[in-house]
Structure 1
Amino acid sequence: MLTIEQLSELKEKLLTEKKSTETELEKIAEKRGGEDVRAKFELMDERDEEANADEVEEYASDLAVTEALEKKLKEINSALEKMETGTYGKCENCTGEKIPVERLRAYPAAATCIKCQN
């Protein structure tokens, strides 16, 4: 079981990572003038892709980064929620086995133990 000090340390890491991730998402949104990257990318037809290859490439890159950051933010929020409910640090796959503190320190949003991750 995690100690209060360990939980506090890991919560601080999660909150720092959450702020950093949100900042990165905001930067992408600002770069795009607040427009939805997915919506614009989905509206482009083949003629647009050929005529604006650089723009398409940039949108595709932004879309991939945005999706990765959103996934990361979801994992962080899930971990923070688990802290509130008392289920943080328990593997989601193997009947609640404890996730080693070393793994949580390396990746505080981990939802599975190393065995289940592989």
Structure 2
Amino acid sequence: MTIDTKTLTELKEALLTEKAELESNLGRIAKPTDGEYVTTFDEVGNDREDNATEVEEYTDNLPVEQALEKKLHEVNAALARMENGTYGFCDNCKQEIAIERLQANPSAQTCIKC
């Protein structure tokens, strides 16, 4: 089963939409640096309460930034696989990934078995 052109176009559009959303969300909490993102540490004041707020926001944002960046890497990898013709094949066993899985998660890198 090969992915038809219409479905591939729909999956690519979904990936591009997700990429834009991820980049927008990352831009709210982090700054792009050399292709990566770094969580911002806003300085809002010098007293203890302000410093505590800054640290709390930073520690809250750091895992969110890491999760968003990981997902962005997955989306970019899927788009690259589309370009080089390996999209839709499992990275582990090289078998085709079920279309239903790709429709549910267009950036899937592995089949259900793997």
**Contiguous gaps of at least 5 residues in structure 1:** 31-35, 41-50
Higher relative CO (CA 8 A, sep ≥ 6), structure 1 or 2? 1
Assess if the C-alpha contact under 8 Å between 2:89 and 2:96 holds in 1. Answer: yes
Question: C-alpha offsets along residues 18-63 of structure 1, whole Å, 9 cap, x if unaligned?
Answer: 0000000111137xxxxx427x5xxxxxxxxxx9444322211111
Higher share of residues assigned strand: 2
1:16 maps to 17
Counterparts of 1:83 and 1:72 in 2: how far apart (Å)? 17
Normalization by structure 1: what TM-score?
Answer: 0.77
In structure 2, what is the Cα distance between the partners aligned to 1:23 and 1:61? Answer: 18
Q: Where does residue 71 of structure 1 map in the other structure?
A: 70
Aligned length, in residue pairs: 101
Tell me the TM-score normalised to structure 2 length: 0.80
2: CA distance, partners of 1:13 / 1:112: 18
Per the alignment, residue 92 of structure 2 pairs with 93
More helix by share: 1
Displacement of 1:77: 0.4
- Find runs of 4+ consecutive structure 1 residues off by over 2 angstroms: 51-57
Report deviation, 1:5: 0.7
CA RMSD of aligned residues (A): 2.1
